[in-house]
Amino acid sequence: KRRAVIFDLDGIIVDTTGLQFRAWKKVANDLGCNFSEEQNEQLKGISREDCLKQILSWGQLQLSPHNFQHWMQKKNDYYLKYVEEINASAILPGVQELINSLDRKNIPYALGSASRNAGTILRKLNLVSKFSAVVDGNDVNEGKPDPGIFLLAAQKLNCSPLSCVVFEDSIAGIKAANRAGMISIGIGKREILSEADYVFKSLQEVTESFLLTLPALKVQ
Ligand code: BG6
Ligand code: MG
């Protein structure tokens, strides 16, 4: 049977969480709003539009459509400036080992990211050719927690959602995986990712033997 793994990008494959935070903090501060690390947790995994809407609602601000687009652009300009510096050294610990063992076991893997910058970042990491499919924010209208990104990845992998395992660092991403009917593995803090089927502190803790015992990945 077909089985597959789907990786989120930001905070799973690559260490961009701090860069996203810095870019949003600059925008929030420019708009006269506060922005904390706890608030940033809520923005992880959700689309650029939804992030700005959330920041505006926390700050009880409203923007005209024109200004909304302006600040979206501004955030992306800041972010892309930070992303310019990224190279393979930003690949998170455990990623290489995990994809090596998936390669050894012939288990295909896809990227399922809400970011419209996913392609740019994957190229900087020299990882594009490793993925059997890439689905990102350019391919869908709805970001996570909508399951669309992961369902499209499963479709491209030609794999039933029930035979997919998702790695996610965000609350919204875990919800998306669960709604897609996939096994969700949270990487981060258990208190934050409480809806995940499994939680590990880092990808480094995810062993090949653990993965192969998951019913979704078992060869039947
Ligand atoms: C997700 C990030 O991967 O992509 C979110 O976790 C981000 O924080 C979202 O808002 C959209 O990213 P981008 O690069 O299209 O603004
Ligand atoms: Mg993420």
pLDDT digits (tens, 9 = 90+) for 123-179: 999 999 999 999 999 999 999 999 999 999 999 999 999 999 999 999 999 999 999
119: its two tokens: 């392609």
Model confidence at 220: pLDDT above 70: no
Active site residue 10: yes
Q: Which residues pair with 199 in a beta bridge?
A: 186
Residues with CB under 5 A from ligand 2 (ion): 8, 10-11, 169-170
**117 Cβ closer than 6 Å to some ligand 1 atom:** yes
pTM (two decimals): 0.96
Whole-number Å distance between alpha carbons of 107 and 6: 11
Whole-number Å distance between alpha carbons of 16 and 91: 9
Counting ligands in written order, the one closest to the CA of 188 is 2
- The rounded percent of the chain whose pLDDT value lies above 90 is 95
**25 Cβ closer than 6 Å to some ligand 1 atom:** no
**Phi and psi of 166, rounded to 5°?**
-110, 135
Whole-number Å distance between alpha carbons of 193 and 172: 9
Active site residue 77: no
In this structure, the number of other CB atoms found within 10 A of the CB of residue 22 comes to 15
